[in-house]
Chains A and B, each alone.
Chain A
Amino acid sequence: MELIIDGKTCKANPGDSILNVARREGIAIPTLCYHEAFGGQGSCRLCTVEVTAGGRSRLVASCTYPVSEGIEVKTSTPAVEKIRRNIIMMLYKRASGSVLMQKLYREYGCSENSLGEKEEERCIVCRLCVLACEKMGTSAISTVMRGIDKRVGTPYDQAATACIGCAACAHICPTGAIEVLDSGNTRTIWNKNFNLINCERCGQPFATREQIDHVSRLSGIEDAELCFCEECRRKKLVGKMQGFSPC
């Protein structure tokens, strides 16, 4: 099927989102909660665009809007720009400690106002970390609470049994909100301490015991074969998880 994005006729398949098509065509739409690995969540709304279908125009989230024949999309109208600016402004006010938000706040030309800033906060609740952890097969973290108090955490904020210390969550986090403390052979993440295993070849600490066991269990590959750091391994063992896992 065909649709028009910013005046350009684009080919699309049923089931595509507007964002998918735009990315394929090299048309930029900003996003915060989107990642290729998980698809659209529709939560940050930064990807808002204007769609005209059947003579009616409306503002939609391009990462979740399924394309249909003949729709016309505008990715940057004054209304869209204003929404994006306000979203960035509000997220910056929430997470003023995040370097990414500070940068976007400047880029989007947000104007000063009377709302307070939270220097100590970095998380923008995009949920990418939760999705990454889910994809690891661990689901150690999730969003907790609701409404304006919604945040990410482990069950009861205790060290989670399910957490394997892989730090996939921290790697995917766009704002650096998740603390991973590696010192010598210990790693601390989400209030839990892990021993780091040294690479059999180069001797550098590179992964947690729990992480190697977990990967071994899922992939059926023996522990012994997993005890090399990425550099040394050179073989792609767990292709599916490579994007997230440093092992």
Chain B
Amino acid sequence: MTTMNKSLIHLLLVCCGTGCVANGAREVYQALKDNLTSDDKAVLAATTSARATGCHGLCAQGPFVRILPEDITYCRVKAADIPEIVEKTLKQGEVVKRLLFRDRQKKTLVQGQNDIPFYQRQTRVALRNVGLIDPSSLQDYLERGGYRTLEKSLLDMRPEQVIEEIIKSGLRGRGGGGFPTGLKWKACAATPAQPRYIICNGDEGDPGAFMDESIMEGDPHSVLEGMIIAAYAVGASNGFIYVRDEYAQSVASLRKAIEEAENHGFLGENILGSALSFNIEIVRGGGAFVCGEETALIASIEGNVGEPRDKYVFPSEKGLWGQPTIINNVETWANIPVIMERGASWFTSLGTEGSKGTKVFSLVGKVANTGLVEVPMGTTLREIIFDIGGGVPKGRSFKAVQTGGPSGGCIPSELLDLKVDFDSLSQAGSMMGSGGLIVMDDRTCMVEVVRYYLSFLAGESCGKCVPCREGIKCLLEILTRICHGQGEIGDIALLEDIAETMQQASLCALGRTASNPVLSTLRYFREEYLEHIEGQRCPAGICRELSEFWIDPVICTGCGLCLPRCPVEGIKGEKKQAHWIESDKCIRCGECIDSCSFQAIKVK
């Protein structure tokens, strides 16, 4: 896959993405370097190279050390494991079994990354270099073909041809809206005003999402190259990358990449000897979720409060400082060079009718393999959650998957065979958003989940316009009441009424989509609302006022696992005999349910 210098025998890829760094990956990498350069291993050092790479995707199993060309992938590696890896694997060609990936379903050990089920069904386009190259090395990027398409575009194509190619590819923005990228560029190029600007949206405000982070950290040059190609296509002079403030490693990685690109003539005056001059600046965002909305982001770069503006004229005509501006998402940018390299027809061969190419998802929640997944558009939810994600752990069952970030919708098990793309998700009452997938099991109360999302949005909306600000407040008030057992008969109609006004009249897409969680669950889980309101019961056993637990004596084996988990000593019973809950003591925390391996504890 990756190029290896001929004289090298081994290439070691150490994941130094943010997730793995938090688990000691830097120490692992340092230990490896130290070990390779220590005196008696001089021969090894000459034939082995170690690379600190970006995220390998399966973060929960990191830090990873992947050895090429054999493709031996070690998981959860600690610095202390390095001497053994060097001794056994590098010197003697032996595999250290205890560090291999354990396939829990098949109960086998898996050696190569490409054999791990999580990776098998993926198609890495936007993530093509992430995990393979050292992001701080321009050389690594060049070896993988980097900046070749920039050169091709600049020297052999006219700007209109570049735009035409992107239009033909059918690429739609990966930041959420799914707007056709080529058309956006065309509109910008057609607006006479100068100067023009290019913006990369790296705000990534969705909780739990990290696809853009992994690209900025792990393959920053692909983003830069995409932006420079666009600068040529629309005649822009300045670019900005707006990075979420928490992403320190992304900022460092981008900064280094910009510096190197400048030193090698890919950025700056007369790029590659052409007439194009273009600079890129990093802007650190420090705002709310709403700052990722393009007009709020533009306001923020201008130094104003990060509040959206009415978008009756698009930024492509009137954007940053009132000038024509292209704003695209990180993942969108990373797709540009490879589309230009392999051609629009290659790109359209991937995906569905209305959504071409691949999409990166962050798969989290109640799923065995959490991590970053890139699949062709049109892959079903079932494939992503069960084949790649390994399904719902702990013997619980799948209940719903929330897609599209905090203002996306919840999709039920009946729709697991939905082919995921922009249009199918909207039709299902949810959205693609930036690609968050949160899996929920049967211990999830849908009303409570929605209440949680609304409380997130309550603090992350800008609060400027009435439908969003007051609408969220009203929805939250009603949902909170329902969760506390004080729902009223008219509440469902009221929720729907307010939700509709929010959708139709809010200023920006945050307010227009903020009611999606409510509307999608009313569509698929209406019964559960009614249970809360009329039945005074929370079937998932989450809302305390509405939950009552009992132990089914037929199923209970008397193992006693639940006993010490109860914080109020409310569970009684002898070993090997059915246990019971003293309901007057029980505080309905639900600890016991989650501790029982036999699912003997039920909700009344």
Interface residues of A (CB under 8 A from B): 42-46, 48, 59-61, 64-66, 79, 82-83, 86-87, 90-91, 93-94, 113-116, 124-125, 143, 145-150
Contact = CB atoms under 8 A, between A and B. Distances in A.
Given A82-B501, A113-B490, A45 B465 contact: yes
Nearest to A150: B463
B312 A60 contact: yes
B465 A114 contact: no
Interface of B: 288, 290, 309-310, 312-313, 457-467, 469-474, 476-478, 481, 488, 490-491, 494, 497-498, 500-501, 504-507
Given A66-B313, A114-B490, A146-B459, A86 B497 contact: yes
Q: In the A-B complex, list the 9 residue pairs whose CB atoms are closest, starting with the nearest.
A: A150-B463, A90-B470, A86-B501, A64-B310, A148-B473, A148-B458, A42-B310, A147-B461, A45-B505
B505 A59 contact: yes
A146 B474 contact: no
28 contacts: A42-B310, A43-B464, A43-B466, A45-B465, A45-B466, A45-B505, A48-B505, A59-B504, A59-B505, A60-B310, A66-B313, A82-B500, A83-B504, A83-B505, A87-B505, A90-B466, A90-B473, A90-B474, A93-B470, A113-B494, A115-B477, A115-B494, A146-B461, A147-B457, A148-B469, A148-B473, A149-B459, A149-B463
A90 B464 contact: no
Contact of B312 (A44, A46, A65): A65
A124 B473 CA distance: 13
Contacts of A148: 458-459, 461, 463, 469-470, 472-473, 476
A227 B458 CA distance: 48
B488 to A, nearest CB: 5
A45 B458 contact: no
Contacts of B473: 90, 94, 148
B288 A146 contact: yes
B462 A79 contact: no
Contact of A116 (B458, B460, B477, B505): B477
Contacts of B313: 66
Contacts of A86: 467, 497-498, 501
A214 to B, nearest CB: 25
Given A42-B310, A66-B313, A148-B476, A87 B501 contact: yes
Given A146-B463, A148-B458, A61 B310 contact: yes
B310 A45 contact: no
B294 to A, nearest CB: 16
Contacts of B500: 82
Nearest to A60: B312
A72 B463 CA distance: 30
Contacts of A150: 462-464, 469
Contacts of B461: 146-148
A71 B478 CA distance: 39
A203 B466 CA distance: 45
A246 to B, nearest CB: 29
Contacts of B481: 114
A48 B419 CA distance: 37
Between A116, A143, A145, A147, the greatest number of chain B beta carbons within 10 A of the residue's beta carbon is seen for A147
A112 to B, nearest CB: 9
Given A45-B466, A113-B494, A150-B462, 4 more contacts: A87-B501, A114-B488, A148-B472, A149-B458
B502 to A, nearest CB: 9
Contacts of B312: 60, 64-66
Contacts of B458: 147-149
Nearest to A32: B466
A114 B494 contact: yes
Contact of A114 (B288, B290, B459, B478): B478
Nearest to B462: A146
A125 B473 CA distance: 14
Contacts of A64: 309-310, 312
A43 B511 CA distance: 12
Contacts of A93: 470, 474
A124 B466 CA distance: 9
B472 A147 contact: yes
A114 B481 CA distance: 10
Given A113-B490, A115-B477, A115-B478, A91 B463 contact: no
B503 to A, nearest CB: 10
A59 B396 CA distance: 45
A143 B462 CA distance: 11
B459 to A, nearest CB: 5
Contacts of B457: 147
Given A83-B505, A93-B470, A44 B494 contact: no
A79 B488 CA distance: 26
Contacts of A147: 288, 457-463, 469, 472
Nearest to B510: A147
A114 B498 CA distance: 13
Contacts of B464: 43, 150
B501 A43 contact: no
A217 to B, nearest CB: 26
Contacts of B506: 45
Contacts of B309: 42, 64
Nearest to B464: A43
Nearest to A82: B501
A196 B213 CA distance: 58
Contacts of B491: 114
Contacts of B507: 42-43, 45, 61
A150 B501 CA distance: 20
A87 B463 contact: no
A21 B565 CA distance: 69
A101 to B, nearest CB: 12
A115 B478 CA distance: 7
A87 B476 contact: no
A95 B478 CA distance: 18
A48 B498 CA distance: 16
